[in-house]
Each structure stands twice: as C-alpha cells, then as structure tokens.
Amino acid sequence: MPLEIVTIPCRSDNYAFLLREPTTGEIGLIDAPEAAPIRAALKQRGWELHKIFVTHHHDDHIAGVEELSDSFGAQVIGAQADTHRLPPLDHAVAEGETVRLGDETGHVIDVSGHTVGHIAFHFPDSGAVFTADSLMALGCGRVFEGTPEMMWGSLSKLKALPRETIVCSGHEYTQSNAKFALTIEPENSDLISRAEAVAAARAEGRATVPSSLAEELATNPFLRADLPEVKSLLGMADQPDAAVFAEIRRRKDNF
C-alpha cells in the first residue's frame, strides 16, 4: 500500500511533507521549515513522529528539526556530506543507500547543485520523490554551491525516474516559474495550459505542489534543456545539454 502523503505549508512559501506508512503506521517527515504547523498537522491526525528526513542544510528546511526530534524522540536522517552543517544526525546517508519508513524503502539520490550535499528521497513503491530545492514545480533551485553542470546532472537523474512519479518539492514558486517558463517556450501548449491551471489554483489559495514528473517533463524548461526544439529557440542548436541548462538558469536568475 502506498504511503499517505500530507503536504504542510510552512513559513511564507515552504512545504514539508508528512508520510504515513500504512502497514506499520510509522510516520516520517521530509524537512522541517518550522515546528508549529508540523506539530499541528500531527496532532490533528493523532500521529506521532518517528523519522525526519532532511534534504539540505538551508535554514528554511531544517529550522524545526531539533525541536521536533526532541519532543517526539524522532530519528534524524540526512546527508553524510553535510553532517558538519546539519542538525545532529542519527543516520547519515549517501547516494545509492536506502532509508526505511515502516515497510517502505526510500532511495537516496545526490542532487547537488543548489547546495553540494543536497539529497532527494525516492520511494519507488509509492511512486513519489521528495526533491526540495533541486527539481521544483516548473523550476529548479538556484545554483548556489555547485555548478550548472552538476545541477544538470542531478536533474538528469530525476528525469530518468518513472514518468508517473509524484514530485514533492520544497516551495510554492510555481506561478512565477510559469511566467519565466513562458519566456523560453511561449508556444508550448502544455505549458500554456499548465500556467493557466496554476494561476487558477493560486487565485483560490490552493497548492500547486506536488506535481507529476510527466507534467514537469512536458513543461519545465530546466528539464527540457536537452531537447532540439528548446535548443533552437535559444539559438543553441549545437550546444551541449549542460550549456543550454546553464543559459536557462542564467536567464531565470536575471528574470
């Protein structure tokens, strides 16, 4: 049985996710931007908290980790590479290793670029990947610590997951991402209709996260840097994929 996934808005535009593994009732959390809304979501459902999975070291993803792990006795799992700048970890992991939530296995994917040491958690049996500030709805994280080549490599790993995978990313940036995406591919009909749906959802205060990998592949310009039609729109027909990605990222940084 698939994980039950609850999306929890935090701070101004962050998302945390609660996961309940139905066979064992074990509860996990992806990122802790702040404790209060996560505590409220747990209380409302009568849930405890057993494991906290951390994606990367930025404060808007870890600020609530220690408070929640202390009050629930939850284990904290995060990247081996970032032990020096994450809250104390009970379990340090690296790419290729697995994590457990009850009967479910999650696979750790290194998605460095936004930070070096950013990881994603992929739960194949539930068809869900938790990407935080790597792959985002209609966008990707700004490349702060890594290189565009590194970020493109990370996105390429996520691109290769099954198309039906649900992408649970870390921020509600989708509407502004859509405006930018339309500057790259103004005639992409899937993008035009998604941008309209996103605007309608936001007008009603609804979340646009999670999304599906299939819709990201069809509309997210950062995942489409390897496509001949996108390269030629940018006048980069003979350029390598990573260079085209870097140009799209550069334009977004200045958007």
Quick one: which of 21, 31, 60, 216 contacts Fe ion (CB under 5 A)? Answer: 60
34 near Fe ion, rule: CB under 5 A: no
118 near Zn ion, rule: CB under 5 A: no
Instruction: Report the residue number, 150 or 195, with the smaller CB distance to Zn ion.
Output: 150
Instruction: Report the residue number, 110 or 133, with the smaller CB distance to Zn ion.
Output: 133
Q: Which two tokens stand for residue 195?
A: 């941008």
C-alpha distances in angstroms, 111 versus 42, 229, 236? 29, 26, 25
26 near Fe ion, rule: CB under 5 A: no
Task: Report how far apart the first and last C-alpha atoms of the chain are (Å, whole number).
Answer: 43
Q: How many residues bind Fe ion (CB under 5 A)?
A: 2
Q: Which two tokens stand for residue 200?
A: 């309608």
Per-residue x/- mask for Zn ion, residues 93 to 112, rule CB under 5 A?
Answer: --------------------
Q: Report, in Å, the least distance between residue 170 CB and Zn ion.
A: 7
Contact positions with Zn ion (CB under 5 A) in 130-159: 133
Instruction: Report the residue number, 13 or 229, with the smaller CB distance to Zn ion.
Output: 13
Residue 233 to residue 186: CA distance in whole angstroms = 10
Give the binding range for Fe ion (CB under 5 A) out of 58-66, 148-156, 157-165, 179-187: 58-66
Instruction: Report the residue number, 58 or 159, with the smaller CB distance to Zn ion.
Output: 58
Within 10 angstroms of residue 90's Cβ, the number of other Cβ atoms is 12
31 near Fe ion, rule: CB under 5 A: no
C-alpha distances in angstroms, 14 versus 17, 83, 242? 10, 23, 28
Residue 150 to residue 19: CA distance in whole angstroms = 29
Quick one: which of 20, 51, 57, 58 contacts Zn ion (CB under 5 A)? Answer: 58
Sheet harboring 166-169: ordered strands across?
98-101, 104-110, 119-123, 128-132, 166-169, 211-212
Quick one: which of 26, 110, 133, 216 contacts Fe ion (CB under 5 A)? Answer: 133
Instruction: Report the residue number, 34 or 133, with the smaller CB distance to Fe ion.
Output: 133
DSSP one-letter string for 97-128 = -EEEETTEEEEEEE-TTSSTT-EEEEETTTTE
Binding residues vs Zn ion (CB under 5 A) = 58, 133
Residue ranges that bind Fe ion, judged by CB under 5 A: 60, 133
